[in-house]
Amino acid sequence: MDVEMVEFVVPVENNKTLFVWNLQSLLTEAQIYDRLFGVFSSFGPLYLLKVRPNAPLQPSGFSAIVKFFSASHSSKAQRQTDGRLLFQDVPLKVRLSSKHTPHFLSDSSRPLSHARCLELANHCLGFNGWTYNIITLKELSDEAEEGGGGAEEGGGGAEEGGVRRLRFGCLLQLNFPRHGQTTRGAAVVNDSFTCTGPEVLLHKRCKLQKLVRDKALVQAFNTVLLILLENGKVMVEVKQTSDQILPENIEGVVHVNEFDLDEDEGEDEEWDLTVS
């Protein structure tokens, strides 16, 4: 039986990317996106779908790029959509990308964003196929960098105008009850900002608490392998890493995955594609 392993990382392989053209201009760009999504998502979860108008010197119409998490899903989609009419009067042209992937990208393992992790897990495992529980989520510091806005007597308030730096850490456990697998993820996030009042400080604390939880969940998913079987079933395995066994005291994991609040995940794809 053929199997394929899918990780929670950004797919960069050519055999997971399709280039679609010969799209007519009878529909709007948004309508074509909806039609394409309906067609290609039926083969498996999509990492990316983008539609763009043809260049000015080309016939009117659109082209699209479709990127799957799975090479087998991509291959099946290419075979069953190329040359088909589907939602228009002329057949689509669908080819696997033959764009050369730079060496530094071919060996990369950039984690998926939080939203993409949830999409992939829910699509392959179902909404009840996984759970997580927070072991520790705590504020590691509440510092005033200037302006005398440090923690004050009587409740740790902030002086208006002071520059504050907040730091939160989270350790959580990701569970796959149907498969008997668990794994952990940990992260630390921090942000510096001008505190103009208690409501600003509260808003920042709430925002950082959500962000550090999301980052820790991404870290946990990054240790997970989805094993896609030919019969459509999915198995879950956990990659053994040096930080799989972590102390429950967050001070023991504050060195793991520290992020600034303005981090840009940058998942856009370029359009420089060739096809086979």
Bigger pLDDT: 45 or 270? 45
Answer yes or no: do 128 and 23 share one domain. no
Taking only the tens place, the pLDDT of each residue in 112-166 is 999 999 999 999 998 889 999 999 999 986 555 544 444 443 344 444 567 888 9
Name the band, by pLDDT with cuts 50, 70 and 90, for residue 84: very high
Taking only the tens place, the pLDDT of each residue in 197-221 is 889 889 999 999 999 999 999 999 9
User: What is the b/e burial string over 222-234, where b = at least 16 CB atoms within 10 angstroms of the residue's CB?
Assistant: bbbebebeeeeeb
Residue 174 lies in a domain: yes
Residue 266 lies in a domain: no
Residue 84 lies in a domain: yes
Residue 275 lies in a domain: no
Residue 4 lies in a domain: no
As a whole number of angstroms, the distance between CA 112 and CA 114 comes to 6
Q: Are 133 and 185 in contact (CB under 8 A)?
A: no
Answer yes or no: do 93 and 123 share one domain. no
Residue 216 lies in a domain: yes
Answer yes or no: do 195 and 213 share one domain. yes
Residue 271 lies in a domain: no
Whole-number Cα distances in Å, 184 to 103, 131, 176, 223, 239:
30, 12, 12, 8, 11
Q: In which domain, by residue range, is 155 found? A: 114-260
The β-bridge partners of 131 are 175
- Of 63, 83, 106, the last residue of a domain is 106
Structural domains counted in the chain: 2
**Which ranges of the chain would DSSP assign to H, the alpha helix?**
29-40, 71-81, 103-106, 114-125, 198-221
Name the band, by pLDDT with cuts 50, 70 and 90, for residue 250: very low
CATH number at residue 42: 3.30.70.330
- Average pLDDT in the chain: 82
Answer yes or no: do 102 and 203 share one domain. no
Of 71-85, 222-236, 242-256, the poorest mean pLDDT is in 242-256
